[in-house]
Amino acid sequence: MATAGKVIRCRAAVAWAPGKLSVEEVEVAPPKAGEVRIKLVATGICRTDEHLLQGCFPNAEFPVIPGHEGAGIVESVGEGVTSMKPVWRILLCLPLHLHGIDFMTNLTPPSALHSIKYKYLRLLHSISEPQHLLPDKTTQYTVAKIDAAAPLDKVCLFGCGFSTGYGAAINTAKVKPGSTCAVFGLGGIGLSVVMGCKAAGASRIIGVDINKDKFAKAKELGATDCINPRDFQKPIQEVLTEMTGQGVDYSFEAIGHKDTMIAALASCNMSTGVCVMIGELDSGSEISIDPTLLLTGRTWKGTVLGGWKTRECIPKLVSSYLEKKFNSDLLITHTLPFAKVNEGFELLRAGKSIRTVLLF
Ligand code: APR
Ligand code: ZN
């Protein structure tokens, strides 16, 4: 591209303090050794971005550029990068967090800071695991080449939300055909779990949410029942146990509250039940449980990006999408121009959107 090797100016959504974003121009230097510079085309807004904006991750200091569900085109590559080539279509996959910016450098936190004129911009990436601090490994694991036919404004969700929820059911829980599942939280992640449970052949999928407006879409995607904990006098785990006889085979927490994490664990059956935690608590939070919940045989697991290996598996998921094996487009309720990024977050806070995709 004509911009290769040059410093470029681009827009970024910068949070200077918790809660607010301003769209500003930043300069991005050409990629250094091991880095890739990407022209972003679309990005999804995830609840984790909102957590970041609200200051829930103490390691992510302000100012910060949130965003981690981007799709784009490789603009240029730095020295020694052999695995990525200009104009390839790519997805940014967790834990690469910087898509509130429409051009970006792929990111080893220290060098990324050098390559952005505003050196005070900090990256959420700094809270990711140490192995991702190595340039080659960062390139290797967090940018996935995808089929050139894939619509970037649709498959951007595969960088986090859809893959996380869908994979939590398929890879982490390994839902078996004919099983019963309970999905706590019917946002973008929980609905992707519902799709994964359905694809795995679950015969009963019970959605749990306090917002009944989420039920119609959940049923469209495969939920067989939807329940609102506020409609019952007793704890929801008791309701689920009664509904299923001895508790569900698999439960998923896609909300991010301590009480629903414990309720999800208690909802799966005591001898073979598997509970997968997906929702996030503030960094440093602790949770205490009655150990009997585990001593009786339940398994409690967590998941990162739904257990998919970024470069190997995410492109295959995109191919499955192109083959129409599932319809993740149903998760996208709003598409907005990048300049309306704050509106996108308002929709999320009001519970009115499942996924908003921003177009650059
Ligand atoms: N009980 C049941 N449902 C609840 C409760 C509750 N106490 N509190 C909130 N919910 C529902 C909301 O009504 C909403 O439908 O949980 C859903 C959460 O969905 P989103 O806010 O859209 O969040 P999502 O993007 O799906 O992420 C869910 O996973 O990765 C994490 O950080 C993410 O913690 C978040 C979680
Ligand atoms: Zn996310």
Would you list the DSSP string of 207-232? EE-S-GGGHHHHHHHT-SEEE-GGG-
User: Does the 8-159+327-359 domain belong in CATH 3.40.50.720?
Assistant: no
pLDDT at position 171 is: 96
Query: Which residues of the chain does CATH 3.90.180.10 include?
Result: 8-159+327-359
Each residue's pLDDT tens digit in the chain (360 positions)? 788 888 888 888 888 888 888 888 877 778 877 778 888 899 999 888 898 888 887 766 777 778 888 899 988 888 888 888 999 999 887 654 344 444 443 333 323 333 333 333 333 332 222 223 334 445 555 788 999 999 999 999 998 999 999 999 999 999 999 999 999 999 999 999 999 999 999 999 999 999 999 999 999 999 999 999 999 999 999 999 999 999 999 999 999 999 999 999 999 999 999 999 999 888 788 999 999 999 999 999 999 889 988 888 999 999 999 999 999 999 999 999 999 999 999 999 999 999 999 998
Exposed e or buried b per residue across 246-282, where buried means at least 16 C-beta atoms within 10 angstroms of its C-beta: ebbbbbbbbbbeeebbbbbbbbbbbeebbbbbbbbee
**Which residues in the chain are classed under CATH 3.40.50.720?**
165-303
| Nearest CA owner, ligand 1 atom 22 | 187
pLDDT for residue 164:
95
Residues touching ligand 1 (Cβ under 6 Å) are 46-48, 51, 161, 184-190, 208-211, 214, 229, 254-257, 260, 278-280, 351
- The pLDDT, as a whole number, for residue 322 is 98
Candidate from 43, 47, 262 with most ligand 1 atoms within 8 A of CB, to mutate: 47
- CB distance 203 to 180 below 8 Å: yes
Ligand nearest to the CA of 285: 1
User: Nearest bound ligand to CA 348?
Assistant: 1
CATH class of 165-303: alpha beta
How many angstroms separate the alpha carbon of residue 231 from the centre of ligand 1? 18
pLDDT of residue 84: 85
Please name the residues in contact with 295: beta carbons below 8 A apart, sequence gap of 6 or more: none
